[in-house]
Copies of this chain bind each other. A is one copy, B any other.
């Protein structure tokens, strides 16, 4: 009897199944520093405890995406160890600020299953929640992944494809952001004069700069999240795969694009929700990531006059600057596009 886990295969999942994921994780100022070193993010609220406290946070909150990656990482050994592809995200909500010293755990519920026609794989839909040491939920999101079957002949579960929202309702966006004293928000120090009212639906913003990714960087990042997906770390096995090399964790491109988006969105300091996301093409070490964003919508938040919400589509590319906003030609993505992310960010009014 082996004590090593080979992870779950498609036929191991059951609708309604709940999985508590191993390895609780205390996030600290150390994680924050390493995240800064890996992505160079410059949003003032997360960068400065003095700035964050002045506007109403208890301390500088931990970057929303670092929280996302840590929660996601916990789910990997149970959910996507045998994944062929990470197909999409929906309904992501950031529910409470996370501070250094908080310990996170994660739980997933299987909310959908559908075998593919090949019978070799199936799609698993899970809703994953990240929870603090005191039981406070800090994040939830749905993702769906294509998972291998151990045995193609195994009887599949009945198909069930969940209905997923195309966007998170604006009524749900404020939970992760305390009431802010916007008069104490120093726009000079934050790096831009543009507030909520300065953005309009349809506006496109080129984030200008590019960042090249090295193998050591994405490996350190992904291990920091305790994400165990082998394809990110094991060049010996990757050399025999279709790409011949390690595949960079999709979340790495999200964090790079978010850090680049500071130039144009400096005050959109908090990711409140992830409406949807797609890793359009793989990213490999040595490539340079660029990004641009479109404001899909702007919305006030019910009952709040401190912050408003921008619905943003941030598109990341590889080895392709974005002054002309590359995206799709009909239904086909531009070949340089690697990420298509739809999210709500909060910004002072």
Contact = CB atoms under 8 A, between A and B. Distances in A.
Contacts of A23: 42, 44, 47-48, 189-191
A216 interface: yes
- Main DSSP-derived SS at the A contact region: mixed
Contacts of A125: none
A183 to B, nearest CB: 17
A4 B207 contact: yes
A214 B216 contact: yes
Interface stretch (A90-98, A139-147, A225-233, A274-282): A225-233
A255 to B, nearest CB: 11
A309 to B, nearest CB: 17
Interface in A83-116: 100-101, 103, 105
Interface in A280-295: 286-288, 290
A246 interface: yes
A26 B2 contact: no
B228 A40 contact: yes
Interface in A179-210: 188-192, 194, 198, 205-210
A217 interface: yes
A234 B212 contact: yes
A81 to B, nearest CB: 10
A24 B3 contact: no
A4 B105 contact: no
8 contacts: A22-B189, A22-B191, A29-B30, A30-B34, A42-B228, A48-B103, A105-B189, A209-B233
